[in-house]
Chain A
Amino acid sequence: MSLNFKKILSKIDYPADWVGIRYVEEIQNSLSTNNSDVDNIKRNCSKGVMIDVLVDGQFAYYATPYLDEQHILKSIHTACENAKRASKYSIYKFTQEEVRKGHEGTYRTKCSDSVMDLSISDVKDIALSGAETLLRPKEIVHAAVSIELVQRTTKIYSTSGADIDQKMDMALIELSSTAKNKLDSQTRSNHGMRGHCYQTGATFVKDYDIQKEAAMVSDQAVELLLADQCPTEITDLVLAPDQMMLQIHESIGHPLELDRILGDERNFAGSSFVSLEDFGSLQYGSDLMNIVFDPTIDNQLATYAFDDSGMPATKEYLIKDGILVRGLGGIESQVRSNVDGVSNLRASSWNRIPIDRMANINLLPGSSTRDEIIGSIERGVYMESNRSWSIDDYRNKFQFGCEYGRMIENGELTKVVKNPNYRGITNPFWKSLHMVGNEDTFEVFGTPNCGKGEPNQVERVGHASPLCMFKDIQVFGGV
Chain B
Amino acid sequence: MKKDIFYTICTKAFDYLNSNEQLTLFLEGEDSQYFRFNDSKLRQSGIIEDFNITLSLYHDNKSLQSMTTISSDIDFSVKNLTREIDVLRASLDATPSNSNIVFPDKFDSVEIDALGNLPQRDQILDSLMGVIDKNVLTGVWSSGKIFRGCCTSSGTKHWFEKDSFLFDFSLIDEKENMVKVLYPNSDWNESDFNRVYREASHQLSLMNKPRMELKPGKYRTWFEPFAVADFIDMFSWNGVSESSIRKGSSCLIKMRDKNKNLSPLFSLDESFENMATAPFNTRGEVSNTIPIISEGVFKNALINSKTAKEYNLVSNYAEDDNTWGMGEYLRSPFIHGGLLDDNDKLKALDTGLFLSNIHYLNWSDNLGGRITGLTRYVCYWVENGEMVAPIKTMRFDDSFYNFFGDNLEAVGSKVLGRPVIDTYDGRNPGETNCPGILVNDFELTL
Contact = CB atoms under 8 A, between A and B. Distances in A.
A-B interaction: yes
Contact of A423 (B169, B246, B395, B422): B395
B15 interface: no
A419 B140 contact: no
B50 interface: yes
Contacts of A83: 45
B42 A89 contact: yes
Interface in B51-72: 51-52, 63-72
Interface stretch (A11-19, A315-323, A455-463): A455-463
A138 to B, nearest CB: 14
B46 A393 contact: no
Contacts of A63: 46-50
B178 A266 contact: yes
B419 interface: no
A206 B364 CA distance: 36
A153 to B, nearest CB: 14
Given A89-B125, A266-B138, A479 B47 contact: no
Interface in A304-342: none
B155 interface: no
B321 interface: yes
Contacts of A89: 41-42, 125, 129
Contacts of A4: none
A62 B424 contact: no
B122 A85 contact: yes
B256 interface: no
Contacts of A47: 69
B423 A455 contact: yes
Interface in A26-65: 32, 34, 37-48, 58-65
A185 B122 contact: no
Interface stretch (A98-106, A161-169, A286-294, A394-402): A394-402
Contacts of A215: none
Nearest to A269: B360
Contacts of B246: 142
A33 to B, nearest CB: 10
A82 B45 contact: yes
B112 interface: no
Given A263-B138, A455-B423, A79 B71 contact: no
Interface residues of A, number: 82
B397 A399 contact: yes
Nearest to B98: A37
Given A62-B47, A178-B249, A263-B38, A397 B64 contact: no
A267 B140 contact: yes
Interface string B88-131: 10010011101010000000000000000000011001000100
Contacts of A39: 98
Given A396-B393, A454-B140, A479 B362 contact: no
Contact of B372 (A67, A120, A263, A390): A390
Nearest to B64: A41
Contact of A82 (B36, B47, B100, B393): B47
B142 A455 contact: yes
A455 B140 contact: yes
Contacts of B427: 455
Nearest to A180: B248
A457 B249 CA distance: 28
A399 B64 contact: no
Given A79-B47, A89-B129, A397-B395, A66 B71 contact: yes
A391 interface: yes
Interface in B251-276: 253
Contact of B47 (A38, A61, A178, A478): A61
B283 interface: no
A457 B94 CA distance: 34
A43 B64 contact: yes
Interface in A92-148: 119-121, 124, 141-142, 146
B198 interface: no
A42 B66 contact: yes
B68 A392 contact: no
B409 interface: no
Interface in B364-397: 364-365, 367-370, 372-374, 376, 393-395, 397
Interface string A164-203: 0000000000000010100011010000000000000000
B168 A91 contact: no
Contacts of A41: 63-65, 91, 95
A40 B47 CA distance: 34
A441 interface: no
A59 B360 CA distance: 31
A392 B395 contact: yes
Contacts of B96: 37-38, 124
B82 interface: no
B16 interface: no
Interface residues of B, number: 89
Given A48-B69, A62-B46, A37 B34 contact: no
A141 B247 contact: yes
A364 B397 CA distance: 33
A367 interface: no
Q: Which interface residue of A90, A419, A455, A456 has the most chain B CB atoms within 10 A?
A: A455
A78 interface: yes
B359 interface: yes
Interface in B422-441: 422-424, 426-427
A68 interface: yes
A89 B141 CA distance: 15
A267 B67 contact: no
B294 interface: no
Nearest to B62: A41
A444 interface: no
B38 A91 contact: yes
Contacts of B52: 46, 65
Contacts of B359: 270, 392-393
A64 B76 contact: no
B7 interface: no
Contacts of A391: 360, 374
Contacts of A451: 424
Nearest to A87: B42
Contacts of B310: 34
Contacts of B373: 390
A297 interface: no
A457 B278 CA distance: 24
A479 B42 contact: no
A389 interface: yes
A106 to B, nearest CB: 25
Contacts of A296: none
A41 B59 CA distance: 14
B139 interface: yes
A44 B52 CA distance: 10
A75 B31 CA distance: 13
Contacts of B17: none
Given A48-B50, A178-B247, 20 more contacts: A32-B325, A37-B96, A43-B66, A45-B69, A46-B67, A85-B122, A86-B35, A86-B45, A89-B41, A120-B94, A121-B94, A146-B325, A184-B367, A185-B249, A267-B169, A388-B364, A393-B393, A397-B374, A425-B446, A478-B367
12 contacts: A40-B65, A42-B67, A61-B46, A66-B73, A81-B122, A82-B46, A266-B138, A267-B168, A390-B372, A455-B427, A457-B424, A458-B424
Q: Which 10 A-B pairs have the closest CB atoms?
A: A479-B368, A185-B248, A66-B71, A61-B46, A65-B69, A454-B140, A142-B247, A91-B41, A478-B365, A455-B423
